[in-house]
Amino acid sequence: MQREQSLKRRVLIGLVVVVLGAFAGVGIERVIAQGTGFKRTPLQKADDPGAATYEAIQGQADVDPAGTSGMHYHHGIEMGYVVAGEIQIERMGKPTATFKAGEVFLIDPMMHHNATNKGSAPAKIVATYIVEKGKPLAEPVK
């Protein structure tokens, strides 16, 4: 079990290194661990004019069938819109929910959560994050 977790961790770190180029527009400090079959691509970002310590980041997540983000959290709010397919979201302290194309979801700051594509077709999500500047966009739960 421990050996399997170690292998998964090494594979995950390798995936992070491979996707570094996709995060160049947001900065290397934004690169985070992502699960297998899950690719997060930042689209744009802007400073929050009302709060110098926060910024808005909009991104797209492409999730292969059986792909998963891995349990993680954000230093702020995540507002998501499912563009295609469907996604199952596990949220600590809340029931697991499935969201289909055209539906939206909200993840509270610091809430541990995991997104998984349980369907047979790829899923696509567009999400907007209002997060603390200087913090990683997302951090894996240890």
Two tokens, residue 128: 């907007």
Evaluate whether residue 142 is within a structural domain.
no
**What average pLDDT does the segment 46-64 reach?**
89
Asked whether the predicted pLDDT for residue 47 surpasses 80, the reply is yes
Whether 40 is covered by a domain: the verdict is yes
SS (H, E, C) the chain: CHHHHHHHHHHHHHHHHHCHHHHCCCCHHHCCCCCCCEEEEEEEEEECCCCCCEEEEEEEEEECCCCECCCEECCEEEEEEEEECEEEEEECCEEEEEEECCCEEEECCCCCEEEECCCCCCEEEEEEEEEECCCCCCEECC
What separation in angstroms does the CA of 82 have from each of 34, 38, 54? 18, 14, 24
Assigned domain for 14 exists: no
The reported pTM is 0.72
> What is d(CA 21, CA 107) in angstroms, rounded to the nearest whole number?
27
Whether residue 138 lies inside any domain: the answer is no
In the structure encoding, which two tokens stand for residue 45, read together?
């970002």
The C-alpha atoms of residue 48 and residue 52 are separated, in whole angstroms, by 6
**Domain limits for position 111:** 35-133
Residue 119's domain is classified under what CATH number? 2.60.120.10
Q: Is residue 42 part of a domain?
A: yes
Contact call for residues 38 and 61 (beta carbons, < 8 A): yes
Q: What is the pLDDT of residues 3-44, one digit of tens each?
A: 554 434 443 333 333 333 333 334 433 444 456 788 888 899
- Asked, for residue 8, whether it belongs to a domain, the answer is no
By mean pLDDT, which of 5-9, 55-59, 106-110, 116-120 is the weakest? 5-9
Number of structural domains (the chain) is 1
* Residues 56 and 64 sit within 8 Å (Cβ to Cβ): no
